[in-house]
Amino acid sequence: MTTTHTRTHTGPKLAFVDTETTGLDTERHEIWEVGLILRDKDHDDTEFRWFLPVNLSTADPFALKIGGYHERHPNGYDAAEDNDERVAFHNQFTDEFARLTRGAHLVGAVVSFDEERLRTMLQGFGHLPMWHYHLADVENLVAGKLGILPPWDSDELSLAVGVNPEKFHRHEALEDARWAMALWDAVMS
């Protein structure tokens, strides 16, 4: 799925990103959804979303519930029969993601979580992740701007810069990427 929003930018190439996974363990658990919004100089913001096939036998049922796997993934048990979204092949996804994010700064909420898993997946399919090694955690940016000490609550940080978290369907990958972009814009504008 690809959507373009007309808006031109100056500044660095940014990749707002979020993943939904079958759990928190890097060994056993897998990414089942990826949301990406690419912001590049002189280009419109462009949104991407991929569903990926996963091995459910080792999944954490709580993690599946949080992200709504069975309701939203085309292979989910409760997914509508008329859900015509396709499930991407890993080699196709990793090829597209590596190409799109080359030279970008990854931006997200605790983006190190997503980066570690995406890096491992890309490398496993023979790609060299070429995003910038400076990752941008939007929650850290908000906390730094306002001088808020940890532990942090995502909703409180969001409200502190005027972004209503309830406007986003949190725990859907593309919506979480949109929320991260809203926090970035609130801090940087």
Number of residues engaging Mg ion in binding (CB under 5 A): 3
Residue of 17, 18, 50, 72 that binds Mg ion (CB under 5 A): 18
**Pattern 109-138, binding to Mg ion, x per CB under 5 A?**
------------------------------
Which residue number, 12 or 165, has a Cβ lying nearer to Mg ion? 165
Tell me the residue nearest to Mg ion as measured from the CB: 176
**Region for residue 42 given its phi and psi (left: phi exceeds 0; alpha: psi -120 to 50; beta: otherwise):** left
Q: Would you count residue 176 as binding Mg ion (CB under 5 A)? A: yes
End-to-end Cα separation, the chain, in angstroms? 28
Q: Would you count residue 33 as binding Mg ion (CB under 5 A)? A: no
- Using CA atoms, how far apart are residues 103 and 160, in angstroms rounded to an integer? 31
Please report how close the Cβ of residue 35 comes to Mg ion at its closest, in angstroms.
Answer: 8
Which residue number, 39 or 49, has a Cβ lying nearer to Mg ion? 49
Please list the helix, strand and coil fractions of the chain in percent, rounded to the nearest 5, in that order: 40, 20, 40
Between the CA of residue 22 and those of 2, 5, 54, 59, what are the distances in Å? 24, 30, 8, 5
By CB under 5 A, name the binding residues for Mg ion.
18, 171, 176
